[in-house]
Structure 1
């Protein structure tokens, strides 16, 4: 009788342990599934579509003049058509033509600012001052600046990882910026500015987007002048007589842009920084 009681007690404990083990396994399985669902949901909520739509709406809220002629959902739909379902190494700049037409915005004459190797300085300036605009300050540039995207043959998705690098093949991102840059240049009018880096040997690089894309799309019928803002630091010996800048001037004077006036000014880095920090300084005094 005592043995049966002990055996019965042991079986009872084993049953309880099994129940506890099953309960723990069930709880862990539920926790793992819940974690996957949360990760998927968060990824979906903060995917490229949501990022672009959010940026688009923020831009339109801050720029009411552009809100009545632009539809964020339509812009995203047209954007997707350029690359979704296609080989990520076979998306030409022309694929974005419908997107260029879908985004309606005109930069005022005399306010276009191009840049090469001066990304940080140029955008610090336009962020604090409203007298000049870069491509990244327009609705089109603002929506997609800094993003990565691509798709695959037959896919309906937009991927943000596993995409070709900037210089690899004819990829969706590089083609987008080439097409957007070409449009920004083609619509530039009046007195146009370009900020170049006076701390490098060749401020004007013929392989840069500015030289190979934007300059090729300038419209001589709408442009009056091209002003080079050559930003230098105290220790730099760079001047406007640098060979690469003379090449730039030659390109202007010998081609379809020969009627466009060329000027070049050396602008100390400290002076530009003062204009960024001190809003009391008129834009006209910044160069």
Structure 2
């Protein structure tokens, strides 16, 4: 009886050891797979970044990538302030422009227009704006990888990686605006100007009357337009605008803008 009990105990011990070994192997495999996936995510993201960057000639894209990556790698993804992207802007600064176009809640129509007509420059038409448009990225403490999933959403935390980037480059883009500045706002919503938007909270506040002479509002009107240039939110815009900058608002049918896209011989100013 004693021998059988000892033998049974030994078998149970061996089974436990085999189970523990099998579990350890599974954990190692999962860790390796996760590591490979994270590395592949970084490589895929970097490939997209560099491919888009190289569409803009005469730029050191590897250097720009290094400046970009330093802003968020090994950082809490909710603790990346706007200033973290200052080194990136140092290696890829914006150039002064007198044909800047801003937008709020009109992204599709604005970019359809600038894609077909070379009259205006939006942030997304610049190197940094074009490279990162539509992408999500973040880092995490203790890692030098670039993550593309599991990143905090725009409203989840104020200093998240993506939100801080767009806030910082938006401020820099507004700083290089000169002369006549144009912004397309949405005439199909009750408040076309929102102080919470990037345009309202950052860009318009950076317009300096020493550089910017006129702010031209294009209120894009669809068939379901619910407002016009007398809207109260636009009066709020005038109040926060730097004194000395002339304000002008014009209601423009979206169909009129679309028609003008297909007429390259037509001066852009006559589109509205």
Q: Which residue pairs with 1:247 in the alignment? A: 236
The structure, 1 or 2, with the larger RCO (C-alpha pairs under 8 Å, 6+ apart) is 2
Instruction: Map residues 1-287 of structure 1 onto 2, 5 A cutoff.
Output: 43=40, 47-60=44-57, 67=58, 70-109=59-98, 111-169=99-157, 170-252=159-241, 257-287=242-272
Distance in structure 2 (CA, Å) of the matches to 1:277 and 1:196: 22
Larger-Rg structure:
1
Task: Name structure 1 gaps, 5 residues minimum.
Answer: 1-35, 61-66
1:209, distance to aligned residue in structure 2 (A): 0.5
Distance in structure 2 (CA, Å) of the matches to 1:105 and 1:146: 20
Distance in structure 2 (CA, Å) of the matches to 1:223 and 1:71: 31
Checking the alignment, whether the CA contact within 8 Å between 1:187 and 1:219 is kept in structure 2 is no
| TM superposition outliers: structure 1 runs of 4+ over 4 Å | 39-42
TM-score normalized with structure 2 length: 0.83
Q: Which residue pairs with 1:14 in the alignment? A: none
* Alpha-carbon spacing, 1:154–1:128, altered in 2? closer, same or farther (3 Å): same
Checking the alignment, whether the CA contact within 8 Å between 2:39 and 2:145 is kept in structure 1 is no
Distance in structure 2 (CA, Å) of the matches to 1:249 and 1:88: 36
Pairwise CA RMSD: 1.9
Task: Name structure 2 gaps, 5 residues minimum.
Answer: 1-32
Q: How many residues align?
A: 237
1:122, distance to aligned residue in structure 2 (A): 0.5
Q: Which residue pairs with 2:14 in the alignment? A: none
TM-score normalized with structure 1 length: 0.79
